[in-house]
Structures are given as C-alpha cells and as structure tokens.
Structure 1
Amino acid sequence: MAAKKKSQQVSGVYVICGKDKFLAGGECEALLDRLLGVDQRAMALYQPRAEDADIAQVLDELRTMPFLAEKRVVLIKDADPFISANRQYLEKYFDNPSPCGVLVLTVGTWRKNTKLAKKLATAGQLIDVAEIKPWKLPKFAADYAESKHRKAFAGRSAELLVELVGDDPGRITREVEKLAMYVGDRKRITADDIEKLIGHNRMFNAFAVIDAITAVDMGGSVERPRNMFAADKSAEYTVVG
C-alpha cells in the first residue's frame, strides 16, 4: 500500500521561480516530497515536457481524482513558453483551481505585475529561488557537505573548491559528491584532497591543449579549450595562472 503523506495545508498552484535551474530543481523536489510519496508518483504525478504540454490535457489531469494519493500533481518544468501560450486559460484556472489537483510550474522569470501573477496570490504560492551570491558559495559548499555527507572542509579549502570549480552551484555539489567518496571515512576534506582530485583535472585540461598544439592537431587544440571553457566559466581567467 502506498505510503500516506502527512496531512498539511496544500495550495492548488505553485510557481517556482529561479534563474539557476539546479537551485530551482532542488526546491521543486522538496515540494514534490511534501505532496507525494516516492511510490505515489507513478500513479499521481503527470509531468509533460513544456513544449509538448497541451492545456486541455493539463486541465483534465488536474481535475482527475487521484488514485492512492490525496492530490494529483501536474508538474511542468521550464514552463515559461507554456505560460505565454496559455495565459488566458491559466488565468481562468487560477480563479477556480481544482480541489483534487496541484499545478506546479517552474519558470526562469515571473513578472509580478501581470494579471496571472496577481491571481496567484489567492490561487496558490510563489516560491522565489534567489541565486547564491559568489561570496556565499564556499558556505553553500560547506553546508552541502555537512548535510549530505557529514563532512567538513578544513580551513579555507571550501574557498579553494569554488575557485577551481567556478560559480555553478550544481557543479559545486557534484564535486563535493566526488570529494566525499574520495576521502572515504575521513570527516574532513582538505585543500590537498581538492588539489589532487580537482586541481589535477584543471591542469590536465590545460596541458592537453598545449600537447594538441605542439602535435599540430589543430582540430583537437580548438576543441579541447572549447570543451574546457564550456565546463568551467572561470577557466579562461585561471588556467594561465
């Protein structure tokens, strides 16, 4: 039998707004955990791609009685174009949301002076996901390491991690995951760990470019820096020292 979620006040509509998709995605997952158990999602979650979502189908899903769950959830990620194409229908729906459905939309921008935004104030909730300021990223990395892996950064090693990885929170968390596995049972992540695991990769990428040039591999010498800069926005400033 499906695990039943604890009864709590649930809105009929949620709009999660954030430019950083990783952070907005984290808020979205936390909300889904509140609304549905993992084993309920197969039967009570409808998640079309924004470009494929049909407004009639979406509204029909929201008005369908849920099976083995308190609410039926419709989730549309990156919903900006879906909202633009169906604004008038959504405005009508916001006036009278379905009592058995929850609509969750993630967007990059949300203009608060629109009719739809004003209707959201009574129809549901806006979850505004702020970007993390660059100087707060080391603390973000440290908090993530502590909460997910019970690991602590030694000294100013979290700052070194951010310097090497860049300002992408998603990439920072992925590197923390690797570091947590790398240090094993140790409780602290040191600067030496970061230099060995991440700093080495940065230097390897830089020397791979040099090797390609000296080997007269013009295709490789162009493609490698392109890939390196795409993966790390700060590489163009730090790779040459």
Structure 2
Amino acid sequence: MDALPFLAAVAKSKRQPVYVLAGDEDFLKRRCRDAIIHAALGDADAAFAVGTYAGDKLDFSTVRNELDTLPFLSPCRVVVVDAADTFVTAHRPALERYAAAPSAAGVLVLDVKAFPENTKLAKALPDAAKVHCKAPPAYKLGAWVQEWARAGHGKKLSPDAAALLIDLAGNTMGQLDQELEKLAVAAGAKSTIEAADVHRLVGRSQGADVFRILDAIGEGKPAAALTILERLFAEGVAPMGVLAPMMAQLRKLAAVGRLTADGQALGPAMDAAKVPAWPQARESFQRQVRWLGRRRLDALSGWLVEIDRDLKGGSPLPEKVQVERLVVRLARPRT
C-alpha cells in the first residue's frame, strides 16, 4: 500500500502485528511511524510503550523479548527497528516464523530501503502491513503540497504558490514541509499563502539553480548560463543532477513548440504543456520560447533523445562536456 492512502486509513484499520515501511522518503516514513504508534497506543504515554533500535547490530532475541513484554499502562508495545535492511537479511527465517505466530502484546515496525515482494516474508504479510514510502510522481506533487499545507499547517496554498514552491525547494517532501512551516508562520493570521509569499521567503534549491540557467538563456545571456553551469559542477553537482530538472523544462518547451507549429496560440499551448500559471513562470517561459526560435524548438525533442542516449554510453565524451554542449546549443544567439 502506498503511504498516502495508508495514512488516510490507518486510524480506522485493523492493527497489524508487523509493519514494513519501505522506500527512501524519510518524511513519509516519519509520518507513517507516528500514525502507527498513535493508532496502536491511543492516548497512552509512548515513553513507556515504544522501543527504538538501530538495525545494523541488533539480535532478533532482543526484539522478540521486547515484543513479548507485557505493556505498562498501554494497549501494546511498539518496537521500531531503524535502518532494518541488515536486520531483515540476517534474521529472515526468524522474522518469517514471527509473522506466522506474532506476539499478541507487540507491534513490530521495520524501516527498510527495499522490501522485495518475492520473498517469503513479504508474502506472509498483508498489503495493509507493507507501506511504500516514496514521494508522489511529479504530476501529483502539487496537489499533495496543497493538501499538506491545509492538513499539516492550517493554510490554503494557491496552485501558483504550490508550483513555485516545488520549483524553488525541489521535490523532497521533508524540505517542502519545512518551507511550508516557515511560510505558515510568516503568514500569521492570513489564511492563504500566495506565490508572492513563496517568492519572497523560500530559498533556491539546486533544481532552481538549473532553472536559472534557462532563465539566463531566455534573457539572451549565454555567458551567465554557462557560468551558473560551471559553478554547479564546481560544487560537485553531477551532470545528471543538472540535466534531470533541465530536461523536464525542455520537454515542455518542445511540447509548446509542436503545439504552436500546429497553429495553437501560445497561452493555450502553455496550459496544455502544464507550464505553471504564476506570472513569473509564464514570462520566463515566453522569453525562452522567443530566444530559441522555431528551428531550435523543432529540434529539441531530437536533442533530448540524443543526450539521453549519449549519457547512457552512446558517446565517448565526458558527461560534463555533453551537458555543456547542450547548454551552448540552447544559449548561443540565433544565426
């Protein structure tokens, strides 16, 4: 089960003796862990009923004894094993036996990076006990940010503000939550957070620096675009770390190029390509369209296929050189 529907249902669901939180989104794992503990213990004091262990040097007997210990002033005991991949690998047969005959007094929570479904342990657990903690796909992240602003911080976040927040802060849910907390405090009694608030208060992420490269291109400043690129490389950012957010924007530019070539007006074409609607984003995008011109817009899809192939071993050139070459193609003035 994915984390977000799990969180919506856990309070009313049957308690499981074993939960597995699998994935790499720590924000979701923390929320799922807190929700499991609250559902298991109710109003009981967690200090007397929750034990947390590091999984790298943990014996199964320690966990089993804790799970079998009768709870004190609480409905059950909860045992959390952090970074449990090593623990699961080392004690898989014991965990399989435990899943078949669990303690009535305990709830075991395993925090792992990976939990393959083809193992006996995974097959022994119901779907409701296996929680996939991964960030929503990009096209759903804006809706999640708006919902979490309301549920977690008591503020309405406008769609434009949500899109700008993701552009600036990146797509890590924990980072987005931190920025929402800052925005909510700054908003005070104001019920809605607008794009102007985000623009004023949220710092720029690595992904936003990549967008600054495209902004510089759209403003006809190729030297500035290359300077930002070289600074990112000097700071240790990998070529793919630069290219991934850049490609997302370039795909939108290619889509708008195709739609306008077919006779669609620029505004509706940007809507269809899901270009954020807040004014700064639209103005920047329009400048990029004008700078690139028809010939480069038509060539963009081919360039993206080419660099994707080359970075996967199709070219002998170093990865940095390949990304630099793409930026030069985009940034140089039209002939």
Task: Mark yes or no: TM-score above 0.5.
Answer: yes
Q: Calculate the TM-score normalised by the size of structure 1.
A: 0.77
Cα pair distance change 1:133/1:92, threshold 3 Å: same
Q: Is the 8 A contact 1:18 1:131 kept in 2?
A: no
1:119 corresponds in structure 2 to 124
Residue 176 of structure 1: CA displacement? 0.6
2:171 partner SS:
coil
The answer as to 2:184 corresponding to 1:176 is: no
Cα pair distance change 1:56/1:158, threshold 3 Å: same
2:122 & 2:205 partners in 1: Cα distance? 44
Q: Is the 8 A contact 2:183 2:201 kept in 1?
A: yes
Q: Report 1:183-194 matches (<5 A).
A: 183-194=187-198
Q: Report 1:7-156 matches (<5 A).
A: 9-37=14-42, 39-121=44-126, 125-156=129-160
1:178 & 1:23 partners in 2: Cα distance? 19
Cα pair distance change 1:197/1:236, threshold 3 Å: farther
1:140 & 1:89 partners in 2: Cα distance? 38
1:80 & 1:155 partners in 2: Cα distance? 38
Query: Can you list the C-alpha shifts for 1:113-138, whole angstroms capped at 9, x where unaligned?
Result: 1111122249x822233431112222
Q: Is the 8 A contact 1:48 1:76 kept in 2?
A: yes
Residue 223 of structure 1: CA displacement? 11
2:79 partner SS:
strand
Residue 172 of structure 1: CA displacement? 0.6
1:156 partner SS:
helix
AA matched with 1:169: M
1:177 & 1:224 partners in 2: Cα distance? 32
Q: How many residues align?
A: 214
Query: Can you list the C-alpha shifts for 1:47-76, whole angstroms capped at 9, x where unaligned?
Result: 111123221111111111111111111111
Q: Is the 8 A contact 1:50 1:82 kept in 2?
A: yes
2:20 partner SS:
strand
Cα pair distance change 1:27/1:193, threshold 3 Å: same
Cα pair distance change 1:7/1:198, threshold 3 Å: closer
Q: Calculate the TM-score normalised by the size of structure 2.
A: 0.56
Q: Is the 8 A contact 2:153 2:180 kept in 1?
A: no
2:40 & 2:59 partners in 1: Cα distance? 23
1:47 partner SS:
strand
Structure showing greater relative contact order (alpha-carbon pairs closer than 8 Å, 6 or more residues apart): 1
Query: Can you list the C-alpha shifts for 1:78-134, whole angstroms capped at 9, x where unaligned?
Result: 211110011111112122111111111122221111111122249x82223343111
Aligned-residue identity in percent: 32
Residue 164 of structure 1: CA displacement? 0.7
2:182 partner SS:
helix
Q: Could you tell me which runs of 5 or more consecutive residues in structure 2 were left unpaired when the two chains were aligned.
A: 1-10, 210-230, 247-326
1:211 corresponds in structure 2 to none
Residue 7 of structure 1: CA displacement? 10
Cα pair distance change 1:38/1:75, threshold 3 Å: farther
CA RMSD across the alignment:
3.2
AA matched with 1:33: H
Q: Could you tell me which runs of 5 or more consecutive residues in structure 1 were left unpaired when the two chains were aligned.
A: 1-5, 207-220
